[in-house]
Amino acid sequence: MTYEEAKSIAIAHNRKVNTCLEYEEGYRFFDKDAQADGGYCDFVVLKAAGKIVSVTSFICDYHPSQRDKHISMRTDEKNDK
């Protein structure tokens, strides 16, 4: 799954996401301006299936490496339509 495909899934799930971290197994999307980490605005789109899982499930089930790659989402990509 490409970043663009995952971004489409993420924005359909929650239009407030504005930040993405790429892991080997998935893309983590969240709102960097949110007051708390976690919840509805912090989730992972799995690369293998395109399925959305919580960050907690992702960590427990997939044991991602400590390495991540920040992917910049431009403001106009937020789809504030």
pLDDT (tens digit per residue) in 55-76: 989 988 887 776 667 777 754 4
The answer to whether position 64 is within a domain reads yes
The answer to whether position 31 is within a domain reads yes
The answer to whether position 26 is within a domain reads yes
- Containing domain of residue 71, as a range? 3-75
The answer to whether position 17 is within a domain reads yes
The answer to whether position 80 is within a domain reads no
Q: What is the pLDDT of residue 74?
A: 57
Question: Model-level pTM?
Answer: 0.76
The answer to whether position 39 is within a domain reads yes
Stretch (H or E) spanning 44: strand 42-46
Domain tally, the chain: 1
**31 neighbors 18 (Cβ within 8 angstroms):** yes
The answer to whether position 58 is within a domain reads yes
